[in-house]
């Protein structure tokens, strides 16, 4: 029975990464931890070790084994859990991740850090409380620490499985008591033509190595099948080193599984054997014999994978071939909840029904059936819409995927900076598009790092300011309108307005007399000029690469906003579109052209009232929107289009906001709101100023999607050009007058 294991490697890798993440987050919570947390860490480590063994990644197995041993001592309460251990374990998680990543990328890794960590682990193990013979949970390759060895002969009656008992479960239970070696005896197997697939012909020779299991414990396991088997339990030796050197390092598929497979094979065979083809029978029994050998080979090997208690289960699970081999190859994969797939299947089913209804209707259609047709089309519309939403949901992942790394990050940073910081995460179930998630990770890390570095003050400063010594950082994600908001908030010192202002002045970004709102001042920290290391040390912080953060967020079609109260802390709000491929748009008309305004940017739409329009400094048109004066951008002028409304008076205005700047876009008409699929113009053409892409409307025509930040900068550029021209003309006129 040869099985190509390599196809399961991607699954193993994926599960290992999950396991590592679990270990990491559990380790960070260990301070307030309980047994369950340690157990779950242990289970994860054990799964990784088991899987690595199966696939022959010996270096991972060896290393993980050390980790496991340490964890085991903690689990038994033989070792105190203190910071040192947690640190080493965290470093170990990094090491395992390094090794697994190397496997994934078919790459080499730097062994030095692994050697170092493994030395630290060994040192801890050597100096920890010694396993003084009470090593209940000693790992397999330390056989000297084993206790009693029990020899169990288990001969079940042939009808055992018919009573609903499964030997496999019994063996699993036995494993909880100690190390188990399972040997299947198949002498009693009848010839293939005589076999009854519902009968059990195999019996087992079990060797259990355990230091504290009593005969009663073992009998208890077999309690349910007591009357249906012959059971013989012998104590072979006490405190003897475990003999079998055949105990392999590599856990292989469970022997009982193999045997189950046998019976499946057998199940299929009789049908082919109806004519009692002798040759076939021989071949079959030969195959059986081979499998028998395989089973026997597998059986002892399995023991090393079996660790006591709960560890057994994941160990058995990891190497078990899962049918959905999720390739984490080049294409990238996504883990989707079955419920999402189910709902898709349901919807497709409904769609098919609607389709068949419509095509039946079309067979002999006359006008009397128009109502039915309308109903059918309506249903189709509904189906399609739901289908679209469901498909989109498949790409959505809870934001916890991005948030998961932060507890560790905070832990490390807090240690490095010597600050005491608590991280509070909310809304981790908010779902976000996978692509957005992948790209938002780094900017978020940057923001969190900044909050720790520059936001939270050192303890003494906090105490002096009347705050608690422990700083807090909040990470929050929630929906707002059609977008996702990620909030990074700290209760630190806030941004020093004056320092930022002076720095900007020094960099020549602003004029000395400029009167800026707080918002505008805070936005200055996103200027490239603030990203030098020197700036960080000069001002209260928030400097490092903030321009890059902003650029990355904008590349995702999002925006970032800063709020800060001196002495109370700062809040960074990142607004992101739900997905990159689709946006909610407001269709507007300018002349004959239809444009799409992203709904996320729209503040409000209104009809301009003539008396609220002010013209200032010559030709700048401002519209008074409550307290704000909003500059008006006539789209038709910007794009050189013929338009119905050439003046602002009574024109329709869509007030949009980008980069904290509100502007009013003058349009001729407001049309429907709809979701549009964004298509790139660059694929076949090139980027166009003021346009972020195109989309196809319901009637098949193409509409341009407006790029609001781009439009604003376009308008600014045009205004600046006009101004320069005017000044040139003016000075020319002046010269003329002088001469």
Partner 1 sequence: MDIQALAKDIPVEGEYSLEGIDFITSGEQYLTFLLENEQYAVDILCVEEIRSWEKPTRIPNSPSYVKGVINMRGVIVPIIDLRLKFGIGKPEYTETTVVIVLSYESDEHSRTIGFVVDAVSDVLNAEENEIKNAPTLGGVIPHHYVDGLVNVGDGVVTLLSVEELQQIEAHSIG
Length of the chain: 739
Q: Which is nearer to partner 1, 209 or 715 (CB)?
A: 715
Task: For the chain, state the CA radius of gyration.
Answer: 35
Cα–Cα distance, 155 to 167 (Å, whole number):
10
Candidate list 300, 319, 690, 709; residue touching partner 1; CB under 8 A:
690
Q: Which is nearer to partner 1, 323 or 685 (CB)?
A: 685
Q: Which is nearer to partner 1, 155 or 697 (CB)?
A: 697
DSSP 55-93: TT-HHHHHHHHHHHHHHHHHHTTSS---HHHHHHHHHHH
- Name the DSSP class of 21: H
Candidate list 105, 515, 517, 701; residue touching partner 1; CB under 8 A:
701
Candidate list 41, 666, 703, 712; residue touching partner 1; CB under 8 A:
703
Q: Which is nearer to partner 1, 289 or 677 (CB)?
A: 677
Q: Is 731 in the site for partner 1 (CB under 8 A)?
A: no
The CB-of-709 to partner 1 minimum distance in angstroms stands at: 16
The CB-of-654 to partner 1 minimum distance in angstroms stands at: 16
List binders of partner 1 among 534-593 (CB under 8 A): 593
Candidate list 245, 537, 640, 739; residue touching partner 1; CB under 8 A:
640
Candidate list 694, 708, 712, 715; residue touching partner 1; CB under 8 A:
694
Q: Which is nearer to partner 1, 407 or 591 (CB)?
A: 591
Q: Which is nearer to partner 1, 19 or 690 (CB)?
A: 690
The CB-of-456 to partner 1 minimum distance in angstroms stands at: 47
DSSP 383-433: HHHHHHHHHHHHTEEETHHHHTHHHHHHHHHHHHHT--EEEEEE-TT-EEE
Q: Is 125 in the site for partner 1 (CB under 8 A)?
A: no
The CB-of-458 to partner 1 minimum distance in angstroms stands at: 52
Q: Is 719 in the site for partner 1 (CB under 8 A)?
A: no
Coil, helix or strand at residue 232? strand
Please enumerate in sequence order all residues whose Cβ is within 8 A of that of 699, keeping only pairs 6 or more positions apart, or say none: none
The CB-of-638 to partner 1 minimum distance in angstroms stands at: 7
Cα–Cα distance, 176 to 136 (Å, whole number):
11
Q: Is 409 in the site for partner 1 (CB under 8 A)?
A: no
Q: Which helix (H) or strand (E) holds 585?
A: strand 582-590
DSSP 135-188: -TT--TT-GGG--EEEEEEEEE-TTGGGGT--HHHHHHHHHTTSEEEEEEE-TT
Q: Which is nearer to partner 1, 560 or 678 (CB)?
A: 678
Binding mask 322-351 for partner 1 (x = CB under 8 A): ------------------------------
Q: Is 688 in the site for partner 1 (CB under 8 A)?
A: yes
Q: Is 700 in the site for partner 1 (CB under 8 A)?
A: yes
The CB-of-717 to partner 1 minimum distance in angstroms stands at: 12
Interface segment toward partner 1; rule CB under 8 A; list 397-405, 433-441, 486-494, 637-645:
637-645
Question: Alpha carbon of 565 to those of 489, 519, 572: distances in Å?
Answer: 11, 11, 12
DSSP 290-310: HHHHHHHHHHHHHHHH--SGG
Tally of CB atoms within 10 A around 215: 13
The CB-of-586 to partner 1 minimum distance in angstroms stands at: 18
First to last CA, the chain: 104
Binding mask 661-680 for partner 1 (x = CB under 8 A): ------------------xx
Q: Which is nearer to partner 1, 412 or 644 (CB)?
A: 644
Candidate list 127, 537, 607, 684; residue touching partner 1; CB under 8 A:
684
Q: Is 689 in the site for partner 1 (CB under 8 A)?
A: yes
The CB-of-639 to partner 1 minimum distance in angstroms stands at: 3
Candidate list 100, 638, 676, 712; residue touching partner 1; CB under 8 A:
638
Cα–Cα distance, 613 to 510 (Å, whole number):
28
**How much of the chain is helix, strand and coil, in % rounded to 5?**
50, 20, 30
Cα–Cα distance, 568 to 640 (Å, whole number):
49
The CB-of-693 to partner 1 minimum distance in angstroms stands at: 8
Please enumerate in sequence order all residues whose Cβ is within 8 A of that of 178, keeping only pairs 6 or more positions apart, or say none: 136, 146, 147, 208, 209, 210, 211, 213, 308
Tokens of 556: 């995702």
Cα–Cα distance, 357 to 362 (Å, whole number):
9
Q: What is the 3-state secondary structure (H, E, C) of 259-274?
A: HHHHHHHHHHHHHHCC
Cα–Cα distance, 613 to 611 (Å, whole number):
5
Are 159 and 200 in contact by the 8 Å Cβ rule? The answer is yes
The CB-of-435 to partner 1 minimum distance in angstroms stands at: 20
Candidate list 704, 708, 712, 715; residue touching partner 1; CB under 8 A:
704
Residue reference for tokens 């890059």: 548
Candidate list 12, 57, 623, 639; residue touching partner 1; CB under 8 A:
639
Candidate list 5, 380, 681, 719; residue touching partner 1; CB under 8 A:
681
Q: Is 702 in the site for partner 1 (CB under 8 A)?
A: yes
The CB-of-592 to partner 1 minimum distance in angstroms stands at: 9
Cα–Cα distance, 182 to 247 (Å, whole number):
11
Q: Is 696 in the site for partner 1 (CB under 8 A)?
A: yes
Cα–Cα distance, 515 to 492 (Å, whole number):
26
Q: Which is nearer to partner 1, 399 or 632 (CB)?
A: 632
The number of residues that bind partner 1 (CB under 8 A) is 23
Q: Which is nearer to partner 1, 485 or 596 (CB)?
A: 596
Phi, psi for residue 363 in degrees, rounded to 5: -60, -55
Q: Which is nearer to partner 1, 197 or 696 (CB)?
A: 696
Interface segment toward partner 1; rule CB under 8 A; list 148-156, 291-299, 551-559, 696-704:
696-704
Candidate list 517, 537, 617, 686; residue touching partner 1; CB under 8 A:
686
Q: Which is nearer to partner 1, 112 or 685 (CB)?
A: 685
Cα–Cα distance, 222 to 238 (Å, whole number):
22
Cα–Cα distance, 74 to 85 (Å, whole number):
9
The residues binding partner 1 (CB under 8 A) are 593, 638-641, 679-681, 683-686, 688-691, 694, 696, 700-704
């Amino acid at each position: 029975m040869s099985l190509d294991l390599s196809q399961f490697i991607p699954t193993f890798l994926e599960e290992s990464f999950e396991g590592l993440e679990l270990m990491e987050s559990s380790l960070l919570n260990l301070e307030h931890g309980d047994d369950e947390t340690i157990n779950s860490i242990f289970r994860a480590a054990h799964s990784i070790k088991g899987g690595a063994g199966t696939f022959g990644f010996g270096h991972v197995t060896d290393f993980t084994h050390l980790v496991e041993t340490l964890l085991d001592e903690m689990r038994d309460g033989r070792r105190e859990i203190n910071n040192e251990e947690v640190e080493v374990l965290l470093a170990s998680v990094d090491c395992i991740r390094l090794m697994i990543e190397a496997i994934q990328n078919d790459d080499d890794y730097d062994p030095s850090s692994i050697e170092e960590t493994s030395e630290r682990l060994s040192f801890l193990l050597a100096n920890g409380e010694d396993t003084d013979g009470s090593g209940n949970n000693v790992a397999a390759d330390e056989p000297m620490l084993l206790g009693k060895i029990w020899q169990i002969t288990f001969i079940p009656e042939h009808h055992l499985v018919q009573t609903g008992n499964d030997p496999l479960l019994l063996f699993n239970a036995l494993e909880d008591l100690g190390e188990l070696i399972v040997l299947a005896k198949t002498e009693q197997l009848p010839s293939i033509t005589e076999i009854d697939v519902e009968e059990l012909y195999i019996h087992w020779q079990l060797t259990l190595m355990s230091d504290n299991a009593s005969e009663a414990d073992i009998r208890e396991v077999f309690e349910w099948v007591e009357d249906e088997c012959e059971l013989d339990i012998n104590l072979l030796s006490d405190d003897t080193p475990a003999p079998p050197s055949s105990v392999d390092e590599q856990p292989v598929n469970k022997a009982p599984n193999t045997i189950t497979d046998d019976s499946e094979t057998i199940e299929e065979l009789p049908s082919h054997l109806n004519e009692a083809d002798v040759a076939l029978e021989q071949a079959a029994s030969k195959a059986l014999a081979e499998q028998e050998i395989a089973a026997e080979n597998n059986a002892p090997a399995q023991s090393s994978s079996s660790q006591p208690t709960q560890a057994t289960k994941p160990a058995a699970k990891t190497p078990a071939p899962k049918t959905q081999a999720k390739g984490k190859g080049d294409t990238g994969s996504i883990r989707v909840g079955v419920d999402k797939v189910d709902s898709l299947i349901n919807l497709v089913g409904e769609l098919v029904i609607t389709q068949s209804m419509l095509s039946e209707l079309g067979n002999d259609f006359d006008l009397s059936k128009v109502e039915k047709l309308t109903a059918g089309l309506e249903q189709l519309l509904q189906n399609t819409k739901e289908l679209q939403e469901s498909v989109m949901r498949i790409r959505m992942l809870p934001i916890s995927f991005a948030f998961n790394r932060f507890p560790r990050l905070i832990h490390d940073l807090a240690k490095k900076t010597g600050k005491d910081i608590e991280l509070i995460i909310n809304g981790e179930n908010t779902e976000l598009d996978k692509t957005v998630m992948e790209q938002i990770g780094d900017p978020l890390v940057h923001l969190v790092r900044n909050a720790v570095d520059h936001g939270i003050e050192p303890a003494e400063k906090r105490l002096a300011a009347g705050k608690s010594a422990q700083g807090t950082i909040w990470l929050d994600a929630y929906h707002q309108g059609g977008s996702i908001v990620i909030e990074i908030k700290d209760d630190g010192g806030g941004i020093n307005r004056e320092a930022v202002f002076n720095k900007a002045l020094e960099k020549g970004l602003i004029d000395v007399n400029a009167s800026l709102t707080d918002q505008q001042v805070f936005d200055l920290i996103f200027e490239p000029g603030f990203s030098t290391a020197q700036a960080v040390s000069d001002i209260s912080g928030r400097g490092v690469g903030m321009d890059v953060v902003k650029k990355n967020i904008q590349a995702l079609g999002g925006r970032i906003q800063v709020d800060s109260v001196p002495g109370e802390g700062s809040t960074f709000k990142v607004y992101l579109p739900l997905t990159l491929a689709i946006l909610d748009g407001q269709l507007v008309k300018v002349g004959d052209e239809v444009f799409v305004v992203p709904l996320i940017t729209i503040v409000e739409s209104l009809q301009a009232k003539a008396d609220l329009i002010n013209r200032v400094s010559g030709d700048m048109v401002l519209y008074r929107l409550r307290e704000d004066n909003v500059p008006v951008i006539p789209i038709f002028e910007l794009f050189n289009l013929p338009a119905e409304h050439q003046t602002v008076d009574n024109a329709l205005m869509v007030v949009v906001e980008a980069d904290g700047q509100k502007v009013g876009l003058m349009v001729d008409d407001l049309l429907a709101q709809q979701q549009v699929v964004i298509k790139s113009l660059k694929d076949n053409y090139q980027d166009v100023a003021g346009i972020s892409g195109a989309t196809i409307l319901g009637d098949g025509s193409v509409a341009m999607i407006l790029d609001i930040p781009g439009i604003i900068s376009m308008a600014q550029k045009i205004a600046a050009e006009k101004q320069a021209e005017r000044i040139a003309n003016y000075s020319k006129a002046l010269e003329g007058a002088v001469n």
